[in-house]
């Protein structure tokens, strides 16, 4: 197996990390569920992206989703949250 640079990991390496089969990870890459780039004949997944999948870092996209969810919750349940905060 060819070694990728330190910035990227291969599909088999990601499969071991996620406890999935290589085929399952390959299908997720092909369907676009996992972002990868083609490096020669193999795919490379950035280590930063993997950290985002594993929750090791908070990506700007995930931060935006969290902010939207908090805003929606406050808009819908603001009064109830205030009431619960006073107890």
Q: Cα(15)–Cα(28) distance, rounded to whole angstroms?
A: 11
Q: Cα(63)–Cα(59) distance, rounded to whole angstroms?
A: 6
Q: Read off the pLDDT of residues 51-73 as tens digits, 9 standing for 90 and up.
A: 888 877 777 888 899 999 999 99
Please check whether residue 81 is in contact with residue 74, taking contact to mean a CB–CB distance below 8 angstroms. yes
pLDDT at residue 4, rounded to an integer = 58
Q: First and final CA of the chain: distance in angstroms?
A: 61
Name residue, tokens 């280590």.
47
pLDDT at residue 2, rounded to an integer = 54
Residue 41, Cα to own-chain centre: how many angstroms? 24
């Amino acid at each position: 197996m060819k070694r990728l640079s330190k910035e990227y990991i291969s599909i088999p390496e990601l499969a071991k990390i996620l406890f999935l089969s290589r085929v399952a990870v390959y299908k997720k890459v092909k369907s676009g569920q996992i972002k990868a780039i083609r490096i020669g004949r193999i795919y490379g997944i950035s280590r930063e992206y993997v950290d985002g999948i594993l929750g090791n870092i908070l990506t700007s996209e995930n931060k935006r989703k969290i902010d939207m969810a908090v805003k929606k919750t406050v808009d819908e349940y603001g009064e109830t949250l205030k009431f619960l905060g006073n107890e």
